[in-house]
Amino acid sequence: MSGSKQQDKGMLDVVTFGESMALLIAEGGKGLEYASNLSPSFGGAESNVAIGLARLGQASGWCGRLGNDAFGRRIIKAIRGEGVDVSRAELTDEAPTGLMVRENVAGKSSVYYYRKLSAASFMRPEHLDEAYIASSKVLHLTGITPALSASCIEAAHAAVQMAKQNGVKVSFDPNLRLKLWSLEEARKVLLPLAEQADYFLPGLDELKLLYQTDSMETITDKLKKLPGISIIKGGEDCTYVLEKDKLTSVPYFKVDQVIDTVGAGDGFCAGFLTGVVRGYSMEEAVRLGNLIGSQVIQAVGDWEGLPSAVEIEQLLSGKGHVER
């Protein structure tokens, strides 16, 4: 991505790229058809992860293309304001910033996308900066980006190759979005990317669709054939770690109230990758991911509930919030 060359090699812990969109959330627990007010924000799996990492004290960078419009400028300022490096993000006049609108009625969230022909959908391999990717320890990408267009598929594969050529680990969350493409289309792209990942971060429900089976044994047998480590989110009461032939379960953290589950997976990824770059064991990294995810679901918004390093230290030490 174009931008000032402010990062030197070895300065970043995690680089990620993808689409961030303007977000409008219907207020008052009403559906969009009846809501009187829409609350503005933004969201995108990759920028959510980058923000989560930054809040935990890690050096993260987000690359993406946004329209050179009010939404795009607002988003890039907000991501920068969270401490994420956006020197390779780009505002373009080629196309507008994408939009998503969300409603939460009776505890059920629905998302509607207006992102066809968005600025991010025109991302191509030449928009990537190999030196920037090489400056990081981990490249994190999701299956949402290749769902946007054929050129985005090429960009995703190019990013992975750049990472591998420079000794950078690859983290891949399939983030299956069936509103963006069919299962058949997704399977042809996501499974090959999974084979390239050092850390594959699927949800159990996604694996059932991608592998066309409800059998956990069959799923684990297929995952064992992958060269990397698989972290299976969304178990009944735990996250699974499949490292070589060893399957380990890491329990969830219990919460008093679930307010909004959107962004929980991105929070998990931020916590897990924080553990990875800090040299934690896989179980310890997943435990941190579980803890971050448990905090996100207790707040409204895609990224707003991501905790800071100080808040996590307080939780782990058992110290509560001091009001005054």
**Residue closest to 295 by CA, chosen among 276, 277, 279, 309:** 309
Query: What DSSP letter does each residue of 70-87 carry, written as one string?
Result: HHHHHHHHHHHHTT-B-T
Query: What DSSP letter does each residue of 244-260 carry, written as one string?
Result: TTEEEEEEPPP-S----
Phi, psi torsion values for 11, nearest 5 degrees: -85, -25
**Residue 266 among the catalytic residues:** yes
Kindly give the residue spans of alpha helices, DSSP state H, lying in the chain. Answer: 45-55, 70-81, 130-134, 150-165, 183-194, 204-210, 216-224, 264-277, 282-296, 309-317
Cα(139)–Cα(102) distance, integer angstroms: 29
Phi, psi torsion values for 229, nearest 5 degrees: -95, 135
Cα(311)–Cα(317) distance, integer angstroms: 10
Cα(227)–Cα(52) distance, integer angstroms: 27
Cα(230)–Cα(316) distance, integer angstroms: 25
Whether 204 and 212 have beta carbons less than 8 Å apart is answered as no
- Using DSSP's 3-state secondary structure scheme, residue 242 falls into strand
Cα(180)–Cα(148) distance, integer angstroms: 7
Amino acid, res. 229: I
DSSP state of 2: -
Catalytic residue among 129, 173, 260, 266: 266
- Catalytic center residues: 266
